[in-house]
Amino acid sequence: MKKVILRQSTSRQQLLSVAFLFSFTFLCFSQDTPQQDSTSQAMENQAAAADASTASTAQVGAGDATAGKELFNTLCASCHKPYSNSVGPALNGITERHDNDWIYKWIHNSAELIASGDAEAKAVYAEWNQTAMPAFPQLSESDIDNILAYVEQPKPQAPTAVAGSGIGEGSGAGGGVSMNIILGILIFVLVLLLLVLFLVNKTLRNFASASGIVIPEKPKRKPLYKSFVENQFLVLTSSIFVLLAVGYFAYGWTMQVGVDKGYQPIQPIHYSHRIHAGDNEIECKYCHSSARTSKTSGIPSLNVCMNCHKAIAEVAPETATEDYSKEFYDKEIAKLYNATGWDPASRTYSGEEKPVKWVRIHNLPDFAYFNHSQHVSVAGIQCQECHGPIEEMEVVYQNAPLTMGWCINCHRETNIRIEGNEYYEKIHEELSKKYGVEELTAAQMGGLECGKCHY
Partner 1 sequence: MRSLFHKTIALLLFAVMVTSCHDKDSPNYQYMPDMYEPVSYEAYGEYTVFENGQEAKLPVENSIPRGWMPYEYQNNPQDAAAAKSGLTNPLAYTEDNLNEGKQLYTIYCAICHGDKGDGKGKLVEREKILGVPSYNDAGRAITEGSVYHVMYYGLNNMGSYASQTTIEERWQIDHYVMSLKNSLDGAPEREFEKETAKTQLLPSRADADIYKEGEDVDQGQSGANTRATEENQTETQE
Residue numbers of the site for partner 1 (CB under 8 A)?
Answer: 72-80, 86-87, 130-132, 134-138, 256-260, 262-266, 279-283, 285-286, 289, 293, 296, 299, 301, 303-304, 306-308, 310-312, 316, 355, 357-358, 360, 363, 365-367, 397
Q: Which is nearer to partner 1, 7 or 360 (CB)?
A: 360
Q: Which is nearer to partner 1, 59 or 350 (CB)?
A: 350
Q: Which is nearer to partner 1, 285 or 428 (CB)?
A: 285
Minimum CB separation of residue 78 from partner 1 in Å reads: 3
Minimum CB separation of residue 174 from partner 1 in Å reads: 25
Q: Which is nearer to partner 1, 138 or 211 (CB)?
A: 138
Size (the chain), residues: 455
CA–CA gap between residue 373 and residue 375 (Å, rounded)? 5
Q: Which is nearer to partner 1, 236 or 308 (CB)?
A: 308
Q: Which is nearer to partner 1, 79 or 431 (CB)?
A: 79
Minimum CB separation of residue 303 from partner 1 in Å reads: 6
Q: Which is nearer to partner 1, 291 or 410 (CB)?
A: 291
Minimum CB separation of residue 242 from partner 1 in Å reads: 18
CA-closest candidate to residue 47, choices 162, 161, 156, 163: 163
Q: What are the residues whose beta carbons fall under 8 Å from the beta carbon of 140, sequence distance 6 or more?
A: none
Minimum CB separation of residue 309 from partner 1 in Å reads: 9
| Cβ atoms < 10 Å from Cβ of 162 | 13
Minimum CB separation of residue 312 from partner 1 in Å reads: 6
Burial of 154 (0-12, 13-18, 19+ CB in 10 A): exposed
CA–CA gap between residue 173 and residue 427 (Å, rounded)? 63
Minimum CB separation of residue 65 from partner 1 in Å reads: 16
CA-closest candidate to residue 283, choices 297, 296, 294: 297
